[in-house]
Copies of this chain bind each other. A is one copy, B any other.
Amino acid sequence: MKRKDSAGTQRNIRLIVAFDGTPYCGWQIQADKETVQGTLTAAIEHIAGERVSLIGSGRTDSGTHARRLVASFKTVSRIPPAALVRALNSDLPPDIRILSARVVSPSFHARHSARRKIYRYQIYRGAVLPPHLAREHYHYPWPLDVAAMQAAAPQFVGEHDFAGFASKSGSGRDTVRQIYRCELKSAALRLVLIVEGNGFLQHMVRNIVGTILEIGRGRLNPGDIETIFHKRDRTLAGPTAPAHGLILMRVVY
């Protein structure tokens, strides 16, 4: 039988978190580094008055942003969710914001329960990068065959072994992921890639972007994507695109 004395009074709280990743070494807590998880854990512990274990929907890279990352933690504190949102936002720096908080089932786990994630990668193609776009756009002012890139993007859709698009190699089914959508939109001088999948390996979106850019430059062919899936060889894919163009848009449960 479970211990009930404190566990029985614990609530599981689900947060929606937005952040400007520019000054942070990513989500994951690290000693002596500013991270979103570290900053947010400290704020929660300050308010709840107890140690908490904060679970994020997944890691984000250093410099990458989030519009609606999901995080969860268990607490015996009785603070109502709306008061928690206000208290956290007054404690946190303005570049991390809690958009909402609610009590969820004890079985909810921000990482394990996540079914889909939607990422966005932004590229600015003009000769000079306007300051208001600088934080969230990769500046790529060189010629690109956008039609070839747009034709290549949907090739990532489906169940594939993404070992060749991961920065750490795995084996077997570890590196298989399902992609539901991979679409490149072009408007004026901006390119926006939307990628939706059931999970992502380290640097996977940024490596997909780097590969699509190589196709746009004519250094890779659309057919090379299939080859990289089969050969599982990271060196065949394009370089990792910079982190600051990447935004975690949403997590679906």
Identify the A interface with B (CB < 8 A). 18-20, 65, 67, 85, 89, 94-99, 128-132, 134-136
Chain B residue nearest in CB terms to A82: B127
B65, B67, B96, B130: the one within 8 Å of A97 (CB): B130
Chain B residue nearest in CB terms to A85: B128
Chain B residues whose CB sits within 8 angstroms of the CB of A18 once the complex forms: 128, 130-132
B94/A128 in contact, CB under 8 A:
no
Chain B residues whose CB sits within 8 angstroms of the CB of A19 once the complex forms: 131
Alpha-carbon separation in the docked complex, A96 to B65 (Å): 23
Tally of this chain's copies: 2
Alpha-carbon separation in the docked complex, A157 to B96 (Å): 40
Chain B residues whose CB sits within 8 angstroms of the CB of A94 once the complex forms: 129, 131, 134
User: How near does chain B come to A95, taking the closest CB pair, in angstroms?
Assistant: 5
Chain B residues whose CB sits within 8 angstroms of the CB of A20 once the complex forms: 131-132, 134
A67/B99 in contact, CB under 8 A:
no
Enumerate the 10 nearest inter-chain pairs by beta-carbon distance, A residue then B residue, closest first.
A20-B131, A95-B131, A18-B130, A97-B128, A99-B128, A18-B131, A94-B134, A97-B131, A19-B131, A89-B128
